[in-house]
Amino acid sequence: GATTGTHAGESPVAMLGLGAMGGVLAGVLLDAGRDVTVWNRSAGRDEALVARGARRAAGVREAVLAAPTVVACLYDHASVHETLDPVAGDLRGRTLVNLTTTTPNESRQVAAWASQHGAEFLDGAIMATPDMIGTPGGSILYSGSRDAFDHGRGILDVWATSTFEGTDPGRASLLDLAMLSGMYTMFAGFLHGAAMVGADGVSARDFAARATPFLAAMTQAFAADAETVDGGDYTTVSQSLEWSDLGHLVRASEEQGVDPGPIAAVEALRRRQVDAGHGQDDFARIYESLRRR
């Protein structure tokens, strides 16, 4: 049975999902001397962990009953429910830490569901790849129950630098997905540039050597844009919307036979503000094109 009431920093942990990330999370806990019970939907993924000292659970219920802290690191929101719905009644009095990537609303839904079943809930957003887990470079954002975070530090801090982002269970996911949105857009921009020069035979490697320091330097401008956006006043201009016409970038892309998609999307956001009469305002005003609410 579970050692409920024991400080979660020293008590057993149940790990549901032993994929690329879940397997490493469980392994790092074992290395730290923790009592870890593991379960995975498909057989075989637990073998190396069992050889390292993990307890094998025959089913989800057996895993849940083995520990006051239940950690899920599954594929998506649907797989969390598929796994936990049948054992909802066994979660009472336990803490559920969900490290599965879900949208903010999905995180809030799982939090409400866990609360209905008498469980504390903490959502975690992993800002790391598996090789970073257990190293100083790893970071995991948490939101939900402050108590669960405080009492779970003995587990959470083994994995990565743990940051509590607030009691809204959706907040960690929101920050995670917003940062990933910035990252993927940046990668798309880099690859678009690589395709433009690639059409003239310049290697992506050569392009990366130039683009890396340039784009890294440009991130320094985030802080000024953030000040402008937070202040809501776009009239102090560093670079005006009118001056920032990106039509030539779109044309250059087309001349290279390259889909202008990424830069055309930015140009459309800029154009919307210019057409609304804000051409003299700062470029950061495209933030207003992005807001639907």
18 binds ligand FVH, rule: CB under 6 A: yes
Which residue in the set 69, 95, 98, 100 belongs to the binding site for ligand FVH (CB under 6 A)? Answer: 100
254 C-beta neighbours (distance < 10 Å), count:
12
Q: Which is nearer to ligand FVH, 80 or 266 (CB)?
A: 80
Q: Which stretch binds ligand FVH (CB under 6 A): 71-79, 137-145, 196-204, 258-266?
A: 71-79
126 binds ligand FVH, rule: CB under 6 A: yes
81 binds ligand FVH, rule: CB under 6 A: no
Which residue in the set 11, 37, 40, 95 belongs to the binding site for ligand FVH (CB under 6 A)? Answer: 40
> Whose CA is closest to 80, among 176, 169, 2?
169
Site for ligand FVH in 128-167 (CB under 6 A): 129-130
189 binds ligand FVH, rule: CB under 6 A: no
At 49, list the tokens: 């962990």
Cβ-contact 73, 51 below 8 angstroms: no
Residue whose C-beta lies closest to ligand FVH? 19
Kind plus residue range of the DSSP H or E element containing 38:
strand 36-39
Length of the chain in terms of residues written: 293
Question: Residues in contact with ligand FVH, total (CB under 6 A)?
Answer: 22
Cβ 26 to ligand FVH shortest distance, Å: 11
73 binds ligand FVH, rule: CB under 6 A: yes
Q: Which is nearer to ligand FVH, 140 or 196 (CB)?
A: 140
101 binds ligand FVH, rule: CB under 6 A: yes
Which residue in the set 12, 13, 22, 162 belongs to the binding site for ligand FVH (CB under 6 A)? Answer: 22
Cβ-contact 113, 83 below 8 angstroms: no
For residues 5 and 227, give the distance between their C-alpha atoms in angstroms, rounded to a whole number: 46
The DSSP bridge partners found for residue 120 are 95
What does each C-alpha distance from 111 to 61, 96, 136, 192 come to in angstroms? 19, 9, 29, 39
Which residue in the set 12, 17, 124, 193 belongs to the binding site for ligand FVH (CB under 6 A)? Answer: 17
Q: Which is nearer to ligand FVH, 129 or 203 (CB)?
A: 129
Cβ 76 to ligand FVH shortest distance, Å: 6
The DSSP bridge partners found for residue 16 are 39, 72
For residues 234 and 224, give the distance between their C-alpha atoms in angstroms, rounded to a whole number: 11
Q: Which residues of 214-246 are buried (b: 16+ CB within 10 A; e: fewer)?
A: eeeeeeeeeeeeeebeeeeebeebeebbeeeeb
Q: Which stretch binds ligand FVH (CB under 6 A): 46-54, 78-86, 210-218, 222-230?
A: 78-86
Residue 88, judged by CB atoms within 10 A of its CB (0-12, 13-18, 19+), counts as middle
Which residue in the set 3, 32, 45, 242 belongs to the binding site for ligand FVH (CB under 6 A)? Answer: 45
At 241, list the tokens: 């919307």
42 binds ligand FVH, rule: CB under 6 A: yes
For residues 250 and 271, give the distance between their C-alpha atoms in angstroms, rounded to a whole number: 13
Q: Which stretch binds ligand FVH (CB under 6 A): 36-44, 111-119, 243-251, 273-281?
A: 36-44
Q: Which amino acid is at 59?
A: G
Cβ 22 to ligand FVH shortest distance, Å: 5
| Binding stretches for ligand FVH (CB under 6 A) | 17-22, 40-42, 45, 73-76, 79, 82-83, 100-101, 126, 129-130
